[in-house]
Amino acid sequence: MLTTSISDFRKNIKKYFDSVTEDFETLIINRGKDTGVVVISLDEYNSLNATQHEMSSRSNELRLDSAIDKLKKGSSFEKELLDV
């Protein structure tokens, strides 16, 4: 996680955006007392939204927890994907 001031962000905007998009860094831009802005990549944002959607219903949450438990216990199996 990176943290910077707004003035430093302005001076080095390309460097910070490159770190966010290429290195999957989260950037916090401080804007004063207890305020700030968080910058994340579009890929990270989409991933967070997908996770939030999957966890939005209790049935999805239970299904995912069950799958994780099966993986941890070694009771899962591999399946070959079809070439389309």
pLDDT-above-90 percentage for the chain? 60
pLDDT computed for residue 57 by the predictor: 87
Continuous H helices in the chain: 6-11, 13-22, 42-54, 58-73
Chain centroid to CA 15: how far? 20
When pLDDT is averaged across residues 25-54 and rounded to a whole number, the result is: 93
d(Cα 12, Cα 10) in Å, to the nearest integer?
6
Type of residue found at 56: S
Extract the tokens encoding 67. 């799958």
- In angstroms, the first-to-last Cα distance of the chain is 39
Q: What is this structure's pTM?
A: 0.66
When pLDDT is cut at 50, 70 and 90, the band that residue 42 belongs to is: very high
pLDDT computed for residue 83 by the predictor: 85
